[in-house]
Amino acid sequence: MADLGRAALFVSLGLALYATIVGAWAARAGKRRLADSAGNALLAALGSTAVAAAVLVAALVRHDFSFVYVAQHTSTELPTGYSISAFWGGQEGSLLLWLLVLTGYAGAAVLLNRRRAPDLVAWSVPVLGAVSIFFAFMLVAVSSPFATQTAPAEGEGLVPSLQNPYMLAHPPLLYLGYVGLTVPFAFAIGALLARRTDERWIVATRRWTLVAWTALGIGQLLGAHWAYVEVGWGGYYAWDPVENAALMPWLAATAFLHSVMIQEKRGMLKVWNVLLVILAFCLSLFGTFLTRSGVVTSIHSFTESPLGPWFLGFICAVTVGSLGLVFLRLPLLRSKTRLESLVSREAAFLYNNLLLVALCLTILWGVAFPMLSELVHGESRTVGRPYYDFFLRTFGLPLLLLMGIGPLIAWRRASLRSLGRMFFWPAGIAVVVGAILLALGAGSSTPGLAAYTFCAFVLASIVLEFVRGTRAVGSFTQLVGRNRRRYGGYIVHAAIVLLALGVAGSGAYGSSTERKLSPGQSLEVGGYTLTYRSLTQQRAANHVAVRAAVDVSRGGEVVARVEPGKNQYFAEDQVSNEMAIYTNWLRAEDVDVIADQIDPGGAIYFKALVKPLVNLIWLAGLVFLAGALVALWPDAREQRRLATRYALVEA
């Protein structure tokens, strides 16, 4: 079986080589049929990679420990669902998933755009092929998931904190996001190679970027929720390098999704857009490098993983190659128009882009800082939470404000009078909300108060946009149907507002307490009384669950019983903390109870946190998905508009 997997990967590598070499030659020589054949090679590579993936899945399900990978990441006790999820639990499998998703995206992008934009696809195929070569080569030569051994009796098992339903969805979604950014990158590079520097590459890849961006966003929120309910420290984001690895390309892609609108509407920012898409792709490669190479521990240890040097080399080659190409094509990328005023929608978009990129780059600096300082001073220095929180506030709050301004302000040039008319209601509502919150005591945190007030401003301006639009068109559904992209975007903005409220609420207005309790004793936190009642033990399939029964009461009345505790896993010989959460929907806050340390005598060190509005973060995920779907939904009107545009360009 392992031989079949290895052979399939060899075939994938060969097909990717064919797509790149023959595709590039066909595009250069203008040979249409040969270019089609190169595209077909990518489709075939999807097939052979799928065979390799099927072999690995089969081995995982059958617990075939003669596969080194299977033995290292599963055990016979592991339930089937988690055995399959071990596919992306380790390095080799993750790489295979990368290649599978990549060839999937590549195949679909080729099929769907071949008719509409043949010259663009002809040059994009070799780019997609080249990226596939890298991953196929890594899988064949450097880090194969099909290494075999004499089968041991039992596998090492999966890390307990990965044995969680989120493990089934979070990593694949992130990969859909990371890898999806390859498509706009390939089309951008393809357009430059073909010297077709109009906005067609943007139009052709708009939905791909949106899909990747949505998957990356949802994947991250799932990861945050996973960390919140499972990792058990009461937080959801720790500015960990691995988390930042996913956030950075998402920020770059967000900037890209905004700035392309300027190019489509006004023919500006062409160079900027190409640079953004290169940045997003390089960051997604960098993210994979970061999580998979051990470079986070120390710059000198990255060679401990066979992947490190290869990845670094590939990232450098991609960066240098694409920047060089942009430089060569600069004369073709001149804007036709200039920015007319600093108070206009274009300018608002521009500020938004600068802030997003600034946030992205400061995070990148924070991630790279330990490695850079080790290179320069010979001593690694790390930046922590205060660094990231500072820049999130400094760049994030103005971004929030811009989200309310951007959609209302006029294109080209906005007059003072129109500004006054537009912003009277939103600004008024924001000021009133701010004053009420101040009276309620929200002044204890200035950034928190600012975030709340800005959120009110943005929500008011979004509602105003919907109301105005509906009045003009006459029907709400028609309004959204006619311009799905725009109103889908507003729904996503509303999701970001919810996210900001959740982050500000749980971050700036939370409270926490730690105390040792014996059964019968209680502690107070944020207006709640937690009483520790008793300790129980239960045996499950692959672990022993120790649980403390804790009564949560408020105002003298018991409102819930929660059971925090620990799970002891046998095969993996590990303990995992199981936090308990009581959600008070009426007050929109969570009470998190953690049994930090369980004494043999039954006394427990409890840690309790109250997190206001934290559930808005998860609600934001649903709204975000809804908005993204509205923007993604096929639009017959748009298709017709594009068809005429393509026809014009072809003529």
**């521009």: which residue's tokens?**
350
Nearer to other proteins, 49 or 362 (CB): 362
Q: How many CB atoms lie within 10 A of CB 368?
A: 16
Nearer to other proteins, 389 or 635 (CB): 389
Distance, C-alpha 149 to centroid of its chain: 36
Structure token digits, residue 633: 């939904």
Interacting positions 494-533 with other proteins (CB under 8 A): 516
Of 20, 259, 362, 615, the one binding other proteins by CB under 8 A: 362
Of 213, 349, 391, 487, the one binding other proteins by CB under 8 A: 391
Is the separation of the CB atoms in 611 and 592 below 8 Å?
yes
Of 34, 58, 168, 242, the one binding other proteins by CB under 8 A: 242
Of 382, 415, 537, 639, the one binding other proteins by CB under 8 A: 382
Is the separation of the CB atoms in 122 and 27 below 8 Å?
yes
Interacting positions 144-163 with other proteins (CB under 8 A): 149, 159, 161-162
**Which one of the spans 77-85, 179-187, 368-376, 406-414 is the region binding other proteins (CB under 8 A)?**
368-376
Is the separation of the CB atoms in 598 and 626 below 8 Å?
no
**């008319």: which residue's tokens?**
421
Interacting positions 562-591 with other proteins (CB under 8 A): 566, 574-577
Structure token digits, residue 163: 């044995």
Measured CA to CA, the distance from residue 242 to residue 348 in angstroms comes to 31
Task: Answer yes or no whether residue 168 interacts with other proteins by CB under 8 A.
Answer: no
Interacting positions 31-70 with other proteins (CB under 8 A): 68
Q: Tell me, by CB under 8 A, how many residues bind other proteins.
A: 62
Of 92, 199, 590, 592, the one binding other proteins by CB under 8 A: 92
**Which one of the spans 112-120, 306-314, 448-456, 523-531 is the region binding other proteins (CB under 8 A)?**
306-314
Task: Answer yes or no whether residue 340 interacts with other proteins by CB under 8 A.
Answer: no
Give the list of residues 6+ apart from residue 446 with CB closer than 8 angstroms, or none.
Answer: none
Task: Answer yes or no whether residue 137 interacts with other proteins by CB under 8 A.
Answer: no
Q: Which amino acid is at 69?
A: Y
Task: Answer yes or no whether residue 476 interacts with other proteins by CB under 8 A.
Answer: no
Structure token digits, residue 156: 């090492």
Of 137, 411, 605, 618, the one binding other proteins by CB under 8 A: 605
User: Roughly what angle, to the nearest 10 degrees, separates helices 91-113 and 200-226?
Assistant: 150
Nearer to other proteins, 126 or 406 (CB): 406
Helix (H) or strand (E) holding 107: helix 91-113
Instruction: Provide DSSP, 260-279.
Output: HHHHHHHS--HHHHHHHHHH
Cα separation values, 584 from 260, 382, 507, 589, Å = 42, 38, 17, 5
Measured CA to CA, the distance from residue 519 to residue 74 in angstroms comes to 38
Interacting positions 313-332 with other proteins (CB under 8 A): none
Give the list of residues 6+ apart from residue 508 with CB closer than 8 angstroms, or none.
Answer: 444, 445, 447, 448, 451
Least distance (Å) between residue 384 CB and other proteins: 7
Task: Answer yes or no whether residue 592 interacts with other proteins by CB under 8 A.
Answer: no
Task: Answer yes or no whether residue 611 interacts with other proteins by CB under 8 A.
Answer: no
Of 79, 390, 527, 539, the one binding other proteins by CB under 8 A: 390
Q: How many CB atoms lie within 10 A of CB 372?
A: 14
Of 25, 166, 369, 618, the one binding other proteins by CB under 8 A: 369
**Which one of the spans 32-40, 85-93, 196-204, 458-466 is the region binding other proteins (CB under 8 A)?**
85-93
Q: Among candidates 576, 579, 578, which has minimal Cα distance to 568? A: 576
Nearer to other proteins, 81 or 306 (CB): 306
Binding positions for other proteins, rule: CB under 8 A: 68, 72, 89-92, 143, 149, 159, 161-162, 232-233, 242, 291, 293-294, 296-298, 301, 304-308, 339, 342, 350-351, 354-355, 358, 362, 365, 369-370, 373, 379-384, 386-387, 390-391, 394-395, 516, 566, 574-577, 594, 596-597, 599, 605, 607
